[in-house]
A = this chain, B = another copy of it.
Amino acid sequence: MTRSTRDRPAKPPLSVEAVVDAGLHVLREEGIDAVSMRRVAAELDTGPASLYVYVQNRQDLLNLMFDAVAGEVDLSERPDPKRWREQLERLLTDIRAAMDRYPGIARVPLANVPTGPNSMKTADHLLGLLRAGRVDERSAAWFVDVVFLFVNAAAFERSIYVAEGDAEAQLEEVQETFAQIDPDKFPNMAALMPALTSGDDDQRFAFGIRLMINGLLNSEPPRAGTPGS
């Protein structure tokens, strides 16, 4: 029996879409850490080397996957100057909800600035809402950055408690630490304990975006674009 690099006939060609879909499937079921080139390849019944025809590397695959998730956000409603704030809060909540469906995907937009078409559409839509609200140009531009950092970080933090079996173990450990706080060492935490443990994820997220929008409406537009001006 002659040895060859081929034990079975070549399979029909894959596609970027097939690779991304396989990645999303693994992501949804097992979280971002399970999305390895080998695991995704196995999902497609092939070897890891085959994926490199369609994606540059793992990071490239993750970026493509994130943009697919961004594509799940509903942007069909036109900005309405009378309801822009409500629309904005809804949009940000929807973005987080989309990321919540794919545990850990929020690490991707934190690790590099998303430039995929769906991410760009989302940013453009967000800017449109701020313009409908007559927000100053530079404030609007910088606000997009700030609020995306918050939304992504909030989504990522939640995904840890969802992703693995240690969800409750983690939460318990934190609560235990809080319960055992020494009032001499941490007087402010001890005094504010009821407030610190109040509210769930959704309430705190809603508080965060309301706070940021109120801040936007109550801040001077930033000065100084280029240094020295």
Q: List A residues at the B interface (Cβ < 8 Å).
A: 110-113, 115, 120-121, 123-125, 127-128, 131, 137-138, 140-143, 145-146, 149-150, 152-154, 156-157, 160, 170, 173-174, 177, 181, 185-189, 191-192, 194-196, 198-200, 203-204, 207-208, 210-219, 222, 224-227
Chain B residues whose C-beta falls within 8 Å of the C-beta of A211 in the assembled complex: 143, 146, 212, 215-216, 219
Q: How far is the CA of A135 from the CA of B176 in the complex (A)?
A: 26
Q: Tell whether, in the assembled complex, residue A224 and residue B199 are in contact, meaning their CB atoms are under 8 Å apart.
A: yes
* Most B C-beta atoms less than 10 A away, residue of A131, A142, A185, A213: A142
Q: How far is the CA of A222 from the CA of B199 in the complex (A)?
A: 9
Q: Given A211-B143, A214-B215 in contact, is the A115-B174 Cβ separation under 8 Å?
A: yes
Chain B residues whose C-beta falls within 8 Å of the C-beta of A227 in the assembled complex: 200
Q: Tell whether, in the assembled complex, residue B186 and residue A120 are in contact, meaning their CB atoms are under 8 Å apart.
A: yes
Q: Tell whether, in the assembled complex, residue B110 and residue A157 are in contact, meaning their CB atoms are under 8 Å apart.
A: yes
Q: Tell whether, in the assembled complex, residue B192 and residue A137 are in contact, meaning their CB atoms are under 8 Å apart.
A: yes
Q: How far is the CA of A215 from the CA of B187 in the complex (A)?
A: 26
Q: Tell whether, in the assembled complex, residue A121 and residue B199 are in contact, meaning their CB atoms are under 8 Å apart.
A: no
Q: How far is the CA of A210 from the CA of B195 in the complex (A)?
A: 23
Q: How far is the CA of A113 from the CA of B185 in the complex (A)?
A: 19
Select A188's contact among B110, B124, B181, beta carbons within 8 Å.
Answer: B124
Q: Tell whether, in the assembled complex, residue B142 and residue A192 are in contact, meaning their CB atoms are under 8 Å apart.
A: no
Q: Tell whether, in the assembled complex, residue A124 and residue B187 are in contact, meaning their CB atoms are under 8 Å apart.
A: yes
Closest 10 CB pairs of A and B: A215-B215, A198-B225, A141-B195, A127-B188, A211-B215, A153-B153, A149-B153, A124-B186, A137-B195, A146-B208
Select A150's contact among B121, B150, B177, B196, beta carbons within 8 Å.
Answer: B150
Q: Tell whether, in the assembled complex, residue A140 and residue B192 are in contact, meaning their CB atoms are under 8 Å apart.
A: yes
Q: How far is the CA of A121 from the CA of B185 in the complex (A)?
A: 8
Chain B residues whose C-beta falls within 8 Å of the C-beta of A218 in the assembled complex: 214-215, 217-218
Chain B residues whose C-beta falls within 8 Å of the C-beta of A204 in the assembled complex: 142, 145-146
